[in-house]
Amino acid sequence: MAAYVIRRLLQMIPTLLGVLLLVFFLFKWVGADPAEILGGLNASAAQIDAIRQQLGLNEPWYVQLWIYFKGVVTFDWGRSWATGEAVSNIFATRLPATLTIMLPILILDTLIALPIAMWVAYRRGSLADRTLMVITTVALSISFLVYIILGQYFFGFQLGWFPVQGWSDSLATNLITYVPLPLFLALLVGVAPQTRLYRTFFLDELGQDYVRTARAKGMTERTVLFRHVMRNAMIPILTNIALALPGVFVGSFLIEVFFSIPGLGREIILAVNRSDYPVIQAVAIYLGMLTMLINLCADILYKLTDPRVVLK
Tell me: do 28 and 140 sit in the same domain: no
**pLDDT tens-digit map of 134-179:** 888 888 888 888 888 888 888 888 888 888 888 888 888 888 888 8
Tell me: do 55 and 178 sit in the same domain: no
Q: Is residue 238 part of a domain?
A: yes
C-alpha triplet 185, 191, 193: angle, nearest 5°: 120
Tell me: do 50 and 152 sit in the same domain: no
Q: Is residue 297 part of a domain?
A: yes
**Secondary element (H or E) of residue 271:** helix 264-273
Q: Is residue 254 part of a domain?
A: yes
pLDDT band at residue 238 under the 50/70/90 scheme = confident
Tell me: do 62 and 121 sit in the same domain: no
Tell me: do 67 and 14 sit in the same domain: yes
Tell me: do 227 and 183 sit in the same domain: yes
pLDDT at 122: 81
Q: Is residue 85 part of a domain?
A: no
- CA–CA dist 121, 62 (Å, integer): 57
**pLDDT tens-digit map of 250-285:** 777 788 888 888 888 888 888 877 777 788 888 888
Tell me: do 159 and 117 sit in the same domain: yes
Look up the CATH number of the domain holding residue 213: 1.10.3720.10
pLDDT at 161: 85
Q: Is the pLDDT of residue 101 over 80?
A: yes
Query: What is the DSSP-derived secondary structure letter of residue 178?
Result: I
**Predicted model pTM:** 0.76
Tell me: do 65 and 105 sit in the same domain: no
Distant-in-sequence, close-in-space partners of 269: CB < 8 Å, separation ≥ 6? 253, 256, 257
Domain count, the chain: 2
Tell me: do 33 and 182 sit in the same domain: no
Tell me: do 118 and 263 sit in the same domain: yes
Tell me: do 295 and 216 sit in the same domain: yes
Q: Is residue 292 part of a domain?
A: yes
Domain that holds residue 29: 2-73
Q: Is residue 15 part of a domain?
A: yes
